[in-house]
Structure 1
Amino acid sequence: CACGKRFAENNSFVERYQRTSIEWNQAVAIRAIKGKTFKETAENYGSSATTIVRRFDQISSSEIRPVEELPAIIAIDEYKGDTKEGKYQLIIADAVTKEPLDILPNRYKRTIKDYLRRHGSKVQMVIMDMSPSFKAAVQEALGRPVIIADRFHFCRYIYWALDGVRRRVQKDFHAYDRKKCKRMKHVFHKENSRLTEEERWYLDRYLKMSTELQKAYELKEAYQDWFKRSKEIGATQIERVKKELKAIYKLVKNSGIPEMCRAIGTFENWQTEILNSFAYGYSNGFLEGINNSTKVLKRNAFGFRSYERFRAKILLTHKYKRIGVHIG
C-alpha cells in the first residue's frame, strides 16, 4: 500500500505460521505412516527425512492413546522386533474386534505380569501360544482367567513329531530316497484326501519302507480327523472332544514312538487350554497376520532401533490401513 507497510495475505489452504499447505501436511502425515521408509516419503514430498520423522512423532503422540483398561477377551503373541529394548516384543490385541491395543517392550514374565496387573482387571479370557512364561504371567496377574491355546501352535507339535520320525528313519534309506523323502516332507503333513496322484505315489513308497513311519503317519491322520471333528462339535459337545482326545493319547502311547509320545505329553500338560480352543472358538490367527505385516514393515525400513517408533508404526499402520493418500 502507499504507506509502505507489509501484511500477510490470508490463505485458506495454508495455516498461520506454516510454509506448507494443509493438503500437503495431511498427505505427508498419512504417507509417514503408510510409506515404506521415512527417507522415501521425504524424497516423494520434497522434504528431509528428519522433517518426516518429526511429523510422524507428532502424529503418534496425538493419535496413540495409552491403554486404560483391556477388554474382556485379549490375544497375546510375540514378534521379533530387534529394537534397543530387546530382540522380541509382545503384542496385545482385542480378540473380538481383532484390533491391536498395545505393544510391550519385551516378552519377559515380569513385564507381562506388571502390565496385566495395571490394565487387566476386566480380562476374562486370554488366547496365546503354549509358552510356560506367558501362562505363568497371566495366572499370577489375573488369578484364574480362561486361557485358550492357539490351534496352530498345538497342532504343529504333531507335525514336528512326524517330521522327527521321518528324519530318523530316512537315515537308513538309500541316498536317493533319503534326499527325495526330505524334499517331499510336505506330503506327510497334507490331508490324505487332498493328495495328488504323484504325491500319493511317493507317500506310499516311503511308508512301505518303514513300518514305524507308517504308524506315525496313521497317528497323524487320526489326530487330523479328531481335530476337524472337534472344530465342528466343540462348542456343544466338549466332553466328547475330551474323550476322543484321550483315545488319541492311548493310541500314541501304545505305538511306543518316542517323538509322538513327547508330543502327546505336551498335549496332556496343556489339555485344559487346548479344549478351551474348541469350546470357545477363539484363535490367534489374526494376530499372526498382524505379525506378518510387521515383518514387512521391518524389512522395508531395514529395521527400527527405536522401540517407541516401531510400536507407533505398527499401531498406526493398522489403524489407517483402509485410508489412501490424496492431495487436493
Structure 2
Amino acid sequence: MHNQYTDLLLDLPEVKTEKVLEVGEQTLHVEVSPVAHKQACPQCRSLDFVIRKGSNPARTIRHGEAFGKSIYVRVPAIRLFCKQCQCGFVWQYTFVDSGKRYSHAFEKQAIRTATAATVKHSADLHAMPASTLQTKYQHWLALASERLQERVWQDAACTSKLVLGVDDFAIRKGHTYNTGIHNLRGEALLDILPGRKLEELRAYAKQHSFFLELRPIAVVMDLAPYYHTWIQECFPKAIRIADRFHVHRYVIEALQAVRKTTQTTLSSRAKANLKAKHRLLNPKEESLSVERHKELKEILDYSSLLGQAHAWKESFNEWYDCSPDVNTANRWLETWFVQGEQMQHPAIDACVKTIRNWRTEVVNYHRCRWTNAAVEGRNNRMKAFQRRHYFTRNRKRYVQGLLVECNQSRYG
C-alpha cells in the first residue's frame, strides 16, 4: 500500500506515513513523522527561535481499526529547544494527549460503544483494560451531561409556547420511582427528580430556581394528584392536560372488566375463544386488518353488553380525534358519560366517575393538543439503560447517563 493511502486510512493530517513496520494477524504497526519541521514554543508561541535537539524513545499509540486489525501508530518524541525562552520541550501531537497511549479518535470510538452497551463489553471489544475505559467513560460522561443539560435548559427557557411533560418511571416497581421533566416541543429530557411524592417535588422546585423561571403554556401529566398540585403551585397560568394515554387506559380497563364479566356467562368453547382474542378489543377498530376485524366481530356477537362497551370505547377514541373545539368536546363528553352510565356496569361506572372528576384536565387536551407519547418512549429508553448498566448505584452518574442517553441523539 502506498504511503498516501495509508495517510488516508489513518486520517491524521499533522503526520505522514514513513513506513509500515509490521502486519500481524490482529495488529498493524505504522511509523509516522510530523509534517512540519518545527513546532512553536509553548511559552512565546514563536517558531523563530526553536531548534531541534535530538529525540526521546518513540511512542506507540493505539489508533482505531482497519481491515479487522488494530492499528498502532509509532510517533517520534522529538526534543525541541527555544533559544529565546531558554526552555526545552517535546513535540506535542493534537491527536493524542501527552503521556497517553490511546488517540482521541480511538477513545471516542470506545466510549461510543460503551454508551450503547457496557464498559466491560466495549473494553473487551477494543482489547483494552476495563478500568482504563471506565475512567475515560466517566470523565466523558460528566462533561457530556453537563454540556447537554445546559443546552436543553437554555432551549427550554428560549422556547416560545413551551409545553412540558411530567411523568414517573420505576427504579424498583412498586417501591422506588423517579420523575422526569421533559420539554415536549424541544423533544428533550430536562431533568430527573428523585421520587414522586409532593414533598420531594416541592423540594426540587425550591432548590432549582431556573425551573420556576420557565414559562410553559401547558403541562401534560397523568392523573396523579401530587403532580397536578405541584404544577398548579409552580405554574398557575399553565394549562394542565391529562395525558391521553393514561386517560384512555381507564376506558380499556373498564372494557376488559366487561369482557371478564361476559366470559363467565358463555359456553366453554366461546369462553376460550373470547379469552384468547381479548386483545382485539383494545386497538382502534379501523386499525385492524380484514381478518382481525372478522375475529373481532365474532367475539362481539357473544354479548350485546360487550358490543355496547366496545362501541363506547370507540366513541371515546372518536371524541379525542374529532372534537373541533372545547365547547363541542364538553357536550360530546357529557353524551359519552350518559352512554356509559346506561350500561349499568360497575367498572364502567367507576371509569366514568374518574373521568368526570378530571373533566377539566381531560378536556384541556382540546385546548392544547399534546400528549406524553414521546415521554413514554423516553421512559422505555431509561429502563433499557438501567438494565444495561445494572441499575448504577451512584446517583450522580446514573442521572448523567440518562441525560446523555435521552438527549445525545438530538444535540450530539
Normalised TM-score (structure 1): 0.85
| 2:127 corresponds to 1:39 | no
Quick check: 198-207 or 122-131, which moved more? 198-207
Query: 1-side partners of 2:407 and 2:267: how far apart?
Result: 55
User: Displacement, 1:322?
Assistant: 6.6
Partner residue in 1 for 2:397: 309
Partner residue in 1 for 2:139: 58
Paired residues in the alignment total 314
Partner residue in 2 for 1:75: 165
Partner residue in 2 for 1:189: 282
Partner residue in 2 for 1:240: 328
Change (3 A) 1:178 1:302: farther
CA contact (8 A) 2:118 2:388 kept: yes
User: Residue type of the partner of 1:178?
Assistant: K
Quick check: 7-16 or 144-153, which moved more? 7-16
| 2:133 corresponds to 1:133 | no
Q: Which runs of 5+ in 1 are unaligned?
A: none
| 2:379 corresponds to 1:298 | no
Equivalent residues in 2 for 1:74-223, closer than 5 Å: 74-82=164-172, 87-117=176-206, 118=209, 119-124=211-216, 125-223=218-316
User: Displacement, 1:286?
Assistant: 0.9
Q: Choose which of 356, 362, 368 in structure 2 pairs with 1:280.
A: 368
User: Displacement, 1:266?
Assistant: 1.3
Quick check: 199-208 or 248-257, which moved more? 199-208
Larger relative contact order (C-alpha < 8 A, sep ≥ 6)? 1
Task: Please give the per-residue CA displacement for 1:130-177, whole angstroms capped at 9, x wherever unaligned.
Answer: 212211222234345321111111111111100011012202222222
**2:264 match: secondary structure:** helix
Q: Which runs of 5+ in 2 are unaligned?
A: 1-52, 58-76, 79-90
| 2:117 corresponds to 1:27 | no
Quick check: 148-157 or 315-324, which moved more? 315-324
Change (3 A) 1:278 1:49: farther
User: Displacement, 1:221?
Assistant: 2.4
CA contact (8 A) 1:74 1:123 kept: no
Larger radius of gyration, structure 1 or 2? 2
**2:409 match: secondary structure:** coil
**1:74 match: secondary structure:** strand
Normalised TM-score (structure 2): 0.69
Change (3 A) 1:116 1:126: farther
CA contact (8 A) 1:110 1:137 kept: no
Quick check: 199-208 or 175-184, which moved more? 199-208
Change (3 A) 1:4 1:268: closer
CA contact (8 A) 1:112 1:138 kept: no
- The structure with more helix, counted as a fraction of residues: 1
CA contact (8 A) 1:121 1:142 kept: no
Query: 2-side partners of 1:203 and 1:22: how far apart?
Result: 58
Change (3 A) 1:320 1:247: same
CA contact (8 A) 2:169 2:178 kept: yes
Change (3 A) 1:202 1:23: closer
User: Residue type of the partner of 1:78?
Assistant: D
User: Displacement, 1:99?
Assistant: 0.8
